[in-house]
Structure 1
């Protein structure tokens, strides 16, 4: 919703919500306003882009309640611009975190994939307003109960019937993991078996992960790629060639690929540890062609609108292509990751090496793929060429 925050009348007509209403002051600098649910002055927020971190930084500016309504925008704008200059100069101001919601917002700055979960299950929940210094196990147990009772949406289409199902244990674990990671960043675990032991309420449900069983052979993957729409074809081809998470491939930038050595740096992934891998010739050719005439910070795999791919944009092309190729139901982007990892396991590559390349643990590879037998004695990433 576009609005002019400099006008008092427009601000007063805005509906209260957690996400601020934003005005762009200049490139990389935004001023946000969050109306008060109780009819107060509302609060202002600054947002500035940090080139080093490749993410936005936020700063709460207060409500400027001591000023007349017509003067608040001017004062907030001045502070937002000063904050942006400080961020651009490298002197980032650390935002004070007071509530669970604040901790989640801070965490999502570097882990954007978690933001969607927080928007759906935390920000609108009473838990978001609980102060971090007052957080107790009962708060999280109540939140967990509400989460488990919330049906999972099978389809998120805006039009048509909404399909839902009971929330699976594995889904609950993923939702809890994001919140647990955000809280661990800012508060220490409490004394076990006490109300202060907030972490005990977020323990994962054991044996919730189902074994990956849907596998597409090389021929099936070629058929899928032949059916996928041209815009998505390079991204899907990368999924077929590299055993990486779809989100990690979508986050790759031109500067992450060294075409002189065929080395690829994976910096934005589920795991925090940065890693470098050497890619096979077919994948290197793809990465080089998609990087041509782009700036180092540009996404390697770019949509027609210039934005990188995400799970909401890659799901439909893959599903449609799978249906047109008459592939088994349930094919997703993660099916391609599973298939490439399966190829490496069957080819005899050591599990530890596969784990390092794919960004997971040897224990997880053993758990999901240890039942496979090796047909060959030697393997490398080049086994993924198809």
Structure 2
């Protein structure tokens, strides 16, 4: 009959001996108990098989003297299982993923964009505390409703006043995609049309992405540069020359630019992995001037305080320049990316090449800019008329 060390009476009846009395917890993992010869509390030992070394490893767990008799086994068992996880992970401590928040933190370690969304919408929400083995469709349906009802921050002035708008379906989709990806790493999809089908509550809103319509021509962009604050001018000029997201541009470091080959490595971006692009002469000259006499780890576009730019620091000078240049009020730093991509499309550059340079998919380029290609084709066919 297997030994049951969880029972205090069983432990009290065990005879003191050199070899601990062992109880098997699972394959390759044992919890041992050695009674005291002096009549006090006995000590506990964990024994775990190390496949890498081909032998058992032991760890003394102590006597858990501060606990009551019926609590000692639970504590000893927990410590033995932790030791087993440590050995099975090759000696590295492996995070225990039990809740939705645990899954998000693990996923966010390798994805800064997702981690930012989790901080804004998951960690402080009731969904964070839900155990993964008890996660049901209604939990995520309720979370989605709270997300959709949450207003999006448009701007904050120097006095701290906020300006918000209703959350756009495309924004909801991006926030849900991050959570869905985190849960997909630890959960299998549930049976369709059941409460276990957690994934159904995170289905994307169809046709949520709207075409970008605000376009600044080159004269308008020149006006913007004429009125931009001198500190922000190099950063904004770069956005006029390269079709990068403002956040990706701001994250560039000196070491990302090779002035010998005019190659730029774009790292922190929604596109995920790093990509290398060859940049045109004007952009290369700008980056060369911004990288001169700086350490490789320094931001290419540096503010007067030595820090890089971010969405909170660039929006005020951009907004002031937009007003001074009498440009459309909805113009933002992202408008420059759209305008640059538009010029590349109408200039005849292949859509796949534009997608690779700008860090998006050919599908997204086709969705938002395909009509420009078709318009150009119709115009060219019209010129063939006799």
TM-score by length of structure 2 reads 0.69
Alpha-carbon separation, structure 1, partners of 2:97 and 2:270: 23
Counterpart residue number, 2:334: 334
Whether the 8 Å contact between 1:347 and 1:374 is mirrored in structure 2 is no
Measured after TM superposition, the shift of residue 126 of structure 1 is: 0.4
Residues 1:320 and 2:284 aligned together = no
Structure 2 vs 1, CA of residues 157 and 252 (structure 1 numbering), >3 Å: closer, same or farther?
A: same
Counterpart residue number, 2:37: none
Counterpart residue number, 2:56: none
Whether the 8 Å contact between 1:100 and 1:183 is mirrored in structure 2 is yes
Counterpart residue number, 1:152: 152
Measured after TM superposition, the shift of residue 225 of structure 1 is: 1.2
Measured after TM superposition, the shift of residue 343 of structure 1 is: 0.2
Measured after TM superposition, the shift of residue 174 of structure 1 is: 2.3
Residues 1:349 and 2:349 aligned together = yes
Whether the 8 Å contact between 2:113 and 2:270 is mirrored in structure 1 is no
Alpha-carbon separation, structure 1, partners of 2:186 and 2:314: 33
Measured after TM superposition, the shift of residue 116 of structure 1 is: 4.0
Alpha-carbon separation, structure 1, partners of 2:230 and 2:96: 46
Q: How does 1:132-143 map to 2 (within 5 A)?
A: 132-143=132-143
Measured after TM superposition, the shift of residue 274 of structure 1 is: 2.4
Alpha-carbon separation, structure 1, partners of 2:312 and 2:161: 18
RMSD between superposed Cα atoms in Å: 2.4
Q: 1:153-199 CA distances to partner (integer Å, 9 max, x unpaired)?
A: 33334736544333221222222223223333444433433333322
Counterpart residue number, 2:117: 117
Structure 2 vs 1, CA of residues 100 and 287 (structure 1 numbering), >3 Å: closer, same or farther?
A: same
Q: Secondary structure at the match of 1:155?
A: strand
Whether the 8 Å contact between 2:318 and 2:332 is mirrored in structure 1 is yes
Whether the 8 Å contact between 1:227 and 1:324 is mirrored in structure 2 is yes
Q: How does 1:82-93 map to 2 (within 5 A)?
A: none
Counterpart residue number, 2:269: 269
Q: Secondary structure at the match of 2:287?
A: helix
Structure 2 vs 1, CA of residues 191 and 276 (structure 1 numbering), >3 Å: closer, same or farther?
A: farther
Structure 2 vs 1, CA of residues 182 and 323 (structure 1 numbering), >3 Å: closer, same or farther?
A: farther
Residues 1:204 and 2:204 aligned together = yes
Counterpart residue number, 1:254: 254
Counterpart residue number, 1:290: 290
Whether the 8 Å contact between 1:253 and 1:296 is mirrored in structure 2 is yes
Moved over 4 A (4+): 91-94
Whether the 8 Å contact between 1:345 and 1:374 is mirrored in structure 2 is no
TM-score by length of structure 1 reads 0.69
Alpha-carbon separation, structure 1, partners of 2:92 and 2:230: 41
Whether the 8 Å contact between 2:271 and 2:359 is mirrored in structure 1 is yes
Alpha-carbon separation, structure 2, partners of 1:171 and 1:304: 32
Counterpart residue number, 1:279: 279
Whether the 8 Å contact between 2:104 and 2:183 is mirrored in structure 1 is yes
Residues 1:98 and 2:98 aligned together = yes
- Unaligned 5+ residue runs, structure 1? 1-65, 67-90, 378-386
Alpha-carbon separation, structure 1, partners of 2:107 and 2:230: 35
Q: How does 1:36-47 map to 2 (within 5 A)?
A: none
Q: State the number of aligned residues.
A: 288
Whether the 8 Å contact between 1:151 and 1:164 is mirrored in structure 2 is yes
Structure 2 vs 1, CA of residues 163 and 275 (structure 1 numbering), >3 Å: closer, same or farther?
A: closer
Alpha-carbon separation, structure 2, partners of 1:183 and 1:244: 30
